[in-house]
Amino acid sequence: MNPTEARIYEALRSVIDPDLHQNIVDAGMVKGLAWNAEDRKVSLTLQLTTPACPLKGYFSSQITEAICRVMGEAWTVEVTFSAQTAGGGVEMLPQVKNLLLVGSGKGGVGKSTVSTNLAIALAQLGARVGLLDADIYGPNVPLLMGLEHAKPAVREKDGRPFLVPIRKYGIEVMSLGFLVPAGQATPWRGPMASNTLRQLLTETDWSELDYLIVDMPPGTGDIQITLAQQFRPQGAIIVTTPQKLAYADAEKAIVMFRMPLVQVPVLGVIENMAYFWTPALPERKFYIFGESRGRMLAEKYGVSFLGEVPLLEEIVQQSDAGIPPALQQGTPVAESFHQIAGEVARALSRQLATATV
Amino acid sequence: MNPTEARIYEALRSVIDPDLHQNIVDAGMVKGLAWNAEDRKVSLTLQLTTPACPLKGYFSSQITEAICRVMGEAWTVEVTFSAQTAGGGVEMLPQVKNLLLVGSGKGGVGKSTVSTNLAIALAQLGARVGLLDADIYGPNVPLLMGLEHAKPAVREKDGRPFLVPIRKYGIEVMSLGFLVPAGQATPWRGPMASNTLRQLLTETDWSELDYLIVDMPPGTGDIQITLAQQFRPQGAIIVTTPQKLAYADAEKAIVMFRMPLVQVPVLGVIENMAYFWTPALPERKFYIFGESRGRMLAEKYGVSFLGEVPLLEEIVQQSDAGIPPALQQGTPVAESFHQIAGEVARALSRQLATATV
């Protein structure tokens, strides 16, 4: 290593990844370091554990500062980001790096809306994302994705038939709603429900995915147990509203995911319908369902508070129209989903780092 | 029959019960007819098929008018109401006249809030009412009734132990939430869930009840099928919100209740969270979740629209505090629950009349 290279590496060792609690050199994140003494320019690629990392700005400024401190103020630094999504891989689903369950003890807290928009926001941040609608009693994802009349094709692979997931808005989607006629009830007993879901997961021809988001049915029953035991998901995300009723049920979901029988790491809590806001009274937030219980819940169980989504008429309207609001650019709603996506990716990286230590 | 009696009966035959499409004399509703020629006063008791009948005002004025037309304007008429709640009786629950299921395909539409306040409103109208919280995965009734720490006693009867329901706010309450510690998850597989619910129903020492309201878990699974097949309920009430998502799931619930396997008569649809209203902008109703889909659903399936409940901060606050808003007198919220209770009783009377014809 020549003296310049050694000095730059020395500088970079002072930049700490706040999630991994390790410097970026020892964590193996620095790639392709190059410099040009004439132009006084350093360039490098920082390899993140997730493309959805919300810390890009932080790393950029920390790296630039550290290098300029050592090399002189006249130097410029160019940081490029790449990502190698961390993930243990999923049993029975070798092409999926991370299986993430979106759950809530209670129904109607907006789990499907959060799952759908989280999947889209992760994809917009550069990840390869799949979305499985596991709510076999009331599959809502087709409506939210504007895919009410979609019918997946079947493709043969190694002599076995596989369902081809539907691609839309940059993600791969599969839902039981694609397979049963609209309006038809599915009064299935528990074991039948679990089997159906296992099939839907393993007999879909998913691409290589960084994240497969599973929109779970409400409750703490057969499907939750089966998924946890047979697939060993990398994490669970709890959706709640600020209502005391929802809090109690979300608490049960956390307790269930942590049971010895189940054991899925809980990454954190998302609070939906946090407050009602209307342009008719722009200076007010109406805490219709109460205040900040999502944050309380996260604190009580020592998990991350991953963010909040307000209750806006436009979210309901766009969702009902099959256009996930996370698709838009620059709106406060899209912004909150992008923040949440970043926090989810970050909580997962932390969880994986802890698990492998 | 003397001439006066004959003339009064003749007059009463012109009063038609709009639900039964029959005059009140032939329907056997007129009891204890008496008159006093000196005071020019007629008194009678009208026996309704439900104490919660919303038609009392209608009957009073129709009867008074009909009698005065025949006897002369100077006569006064005094109508007293009594009620013999109609109901086939429930298999395996001989002391219960009517078992009513409150369901929705989707969770989180306010089913528990509607069930609790409907039970209380029916009791306030004079009926004997029980409330069973059948949502074994997330029993919310203890919280809504301010009974979070209640523990039911056990009483021996014919050599077998029975749970004693908790009496509060004029109704009898039983919930799985009384039996499992708060915060404990119940990751039960389907058949276990159905068995538990059957036990909870049959091993509770209910009094003689006009209505036993069952707050069902969301979905269309084991519990729904078991309850329908083993107890043959008199009716199902569907709760929905105006959201397109909720509509689709409520539709599935109706279809399920009508399946040959299940066959529970659907009495009608209640729309919860119909609109947001705040004293800060009293002239506006915010249709956050969309408009009037509950009414559309009722029309599509030819069932009654039983009423709507607005989304108000006070409903959430009172519910979270364990004081059902239907308990109050004269507030718009209490008023809407009382109207709904009347409509439910009326739809049930009509359903029973049709079923026995």
Tens digits of residue pLDDT in A160-195: 999 999 999 999 999 988 987 655 555 556 667 778
Compare CB distances from A281 to B107, B246, B280 and report the shortest one's residue: B280
Interchain contact, B217 vs A217, CB within 8 Å: no
- Asked if residue A238 has pLDDT above 60, the reply is yes
For residues A21 and A157, state if they share a domain: no
Closest Cβ–Cβ partner in B109, B138, B288 for A219: B138
Are residues B113 and B42 part of one domain? no
Contact A248 B183 (CB under 8 A): yes
Please tell me the distance in Å from B308's CA to the nearest CA on chain A: 18
Contact assignment for B187 to A249 by CB distance below 8 Å: no
Contact B185 A143 (CB under 8 A): no
| Residue A219: pLDDT over 80 | no
| Cα separation, B306 vs B298, whole angstroms | 9
pLDDT tens digits, residue range B287-307?
A: 999 888 899 999 999 999 999
Q: Distance, in angstroms, between A117 CA and closest chain B CA?
A: 15
pLDDT of B215 > 90? The answer is yes
Total tally of structural domains belonging to chain A? 2
Residue B69 pLDDT more than 70? yes
Whether B139 is in a domain gets the answer: yes
pLDDT interval class at B54 (50, 70, 90): confident
Q: Which one is predicted more confidently, A341 or A218?
A: A341
The answer to whether B225 contacts A289, with C-beta atoms less than 8 Å apart, is: no
In eight-state DSSP terms, residue B132 is E
Beta carbons of B184 and A252 less than 8 Å apart: yes
Greater pLDDT, B353 or A15: A15
CB B51 within 8 A of CB B126: yes
How many CB pairs (< 8 A) connect A and B? 185
Facing residue for A187 by CB, picked from B109, B185, B225: B225
Nearest CB neighbour to A218, from listed B107, B241, B311: B107
Distances (CA, A) of B192 to A193, B84, B101, B272: 15, 37, 20, 31
B191 with A189: Cβ contact below 8 A: yes
Tell me whether residues B217 and A219 touch, CB distance under 8 A: yes
Same domain, B241 and B131: yes
Q: How far is CA B323 from CA A149, A245, A246, B113, B120, in A?
A: 44, 14, 17, 11, 11
> CA–CA separation, A32 vs A43, rounded Å?
8
What per-residue confidence (pLDDT) applies to A348?
93
Same domain? For B164 and B17 the reply is no
pLDDT of B189 reads 61
Shortest CA distance from A225: residue in chain B: B187
- In the prediction, which pLDDT does B154 show? 94
From chain B, the residues in CB contact with A288 under 8 A are 276, 311, 313, 316
A202 within domain boundaries: yes
B319 falls within a domain: yes
Residues from chain B contacting residue A140 (CB–CB below 8 Å): 245, 248-249
Point out the least confidently predicted range of B195-204, B212-221, B325-334.
B212-221
Predicted confidence at residue A183, as pLDDT, reads: 56
The reported pLDDT for the residue numbered B232 is 92
Residues A112 and A253 in one domain: yes
CA distance B259 to chain A (A): 9
Nearest CA in chain A to B188: A221
Tell me, yes or no, whether B45 and B189 share the same domain: no
Tell me the percentage of chain B whose pLDDT exceeds 70. 96
Residue of A nearest to B312 (CA): A288
Q: Which of B188, B249, B280 sits opposite A138 (nearest CB)?
A: B249
Where does a domain end: A37, A53, A83? A83
Arithmetic mean of pLDDT, B275-282: 90
Domain that holds residue B34: 3-83
User: Residues of chain B with pLDDT > 90: what percent?
Assistant: 60
Q: Which residue has the tokens 């429900």?
A: A193
Put simply, the answer to whether A183 touches B255 (Cβ < 8 Å) is yes
Instruction: Verify whether the Cβ–Cβ distance B138 to A320 is below 8 Å.
Output: no
Mean pLDDT, rounded, for A41-64: 88
Q: Compare all CA atoms of chain B with the CA of A181 and give the residue at the minimum distance.
A: B252
Overall average pLDDT of the B124-144 stretch = 90
- Yes or no: say if B15 and B60 are a contact pair by the CB < 8 Å rule: no
Nearest by CB: A191 against B190, B224, B244: B190
Q: Answer whether A138 sits within 8 Å of B248, measured CB to CB.
A: yes
Residue B17, both tokens: 């019960």
pLDDT level of residue A357 (50, 70, 90 thresholds): very low
pLDDT at A301 over 90: yes
Q: Identify the pLDDT of residue A11.
A: 93
Query: What integer pLDDT is reported at residue A258 of this predicted model?
Result: 92
Look at B138 and A186 and tell me if their CB atoms are within 8 Å. no
In angstroms, rounded to a whole number, what is the distance separating the alpha carbons of residues A135 and A129?
19
Q: Would residue B88 count as lying in a domain?
A: no
**Which band of pLDDT confidence, cut at 50, 70 and 90, is reported for residue A107?**
confident
Residue B77 lies in a domain: yes
Among chain B residues, CA nearest to A189: B222
Q: Return d(Cα A85, Cα A234) in angstroms, integer.
A: 13
Q: Which of A83, A106, A122 is the last residue of a domain?
A: A83
B128 with B260, same domain: the answer is yes
- Domain annotation covers residue A307: yes
Residue B16 lies in a domain: yes
Distance from the A307 Cα atom to the nearest Cα atom in chain B, whole angstroms: 20
Q: What pLDDT sits at residue A197?
A: 85
Same domain, B18 and B167: no
Distance of CA B229 to the CA centre of its chain: 21
A114 and A213 co-located in one domain: yes
> Are residues A338 and A194 part of one domain?
yes
Please identify, among B48, B83, B118, the residue that sits at the C-terminal boundary of a domain: B83
Contacting residues of A for B183, CB less than 8 Å apart: 248, 251-252, 255
Q: Between chains, do B218 and A218 touch, taking CB under 8 Å as contact? A: yes
What pLDDT, on the 0 to 100 scale, is given for residue A51? Answer: 78
The least confident of B50-54, B252-256, B296-300 is B50-54
Nearest to B187 among A107, A189, A262 (CB): A262
Banded model confidence at residue A237, pLDDT cuts 50, 70, 90: very high
CB contact under 8 A, A278 and B255: no
Contacts of B103 in chain A (CB under 8 A): none
Residue A196 has pLDDT above 90, yes or no: no
Provide the CATH number for the domain around residue A61. Answer: 3.30.300.130
Q: Which residues of B touch A316 (CB under 8 A)?
A: 243, 288-290
CATH number assigned to the domain comprising residue B266: 3.40.50.300
Predicted confidence at residue B357, as pLDDT, reads 47
Beta-carbon contacts of residue A354 (< 8 Å; ≥ 6 apart) = none
Q: Map tokens 């084991």 to a residue.
A: B222
Verify that B248 and B271 share a domain, yes or no: yes
Q: Give residues with Cβ within 8 angstroms of A185, minimum separation 6.
A: B105, B220, B252, B253, B255, B256, B259
Domain assignment of residue B347, yes or no: yes
Residues B210, B334 share a domain = yes
What is the residue-averaged pLDDT of chain B?
89
- The answer to whether B255 contacts A106, with C-beta atoms less than 8 Å apart, is no
Residue B115 has pLDDT above 90, yes or no: yes
The 3 state secondary structure assigned to chain A is: CCHHHHHHHHHHCCCEECCCCEECCCCCCEEEEEEECCCCEEEEEEEECCCCCCCHHHHHHHHHHHHHHHHCCCCEEEEEEEECCCCCCECCECCEEEEEEEECCCCCCCHHHHHHHHHHHHHHCCCCEEEEECCCCCCCHHHHCCCCCCCCCEEEECCEEEECCEEECCEEEEEHHHCCCCCCCCCCCHHHHHHHHHHHHHCECCCCEEEEEEECCCCCCHHHHHHHHHHCCCEEEEEECCCHHHHHHHHHHHHHHCCCCCCCCEEEEEEEEEEECCCCCCCCCECCCCCCHHHHHHHHCCCEEEEEEEECHHHHHHHHCCCCHHHCCCCHHHHHHHHHHHHHHHHHHHHHHHHHC
pLDDT on residue A332: 87
Residues of chain B with Cβ-Cβ distance to A262 below 8 Å are 187
In terms of phi and psi (left: phi > 0; alpha: psi -120 to 50; beta: otherwise), the region of A40 is left
**Rg, Å, chain A Cα set:** 22
- How far A202 CA lies from chain B's nearest CA (Å)? 22
Answer whether A187 sits within 8 Å of B262, measured CB to CB.
yes
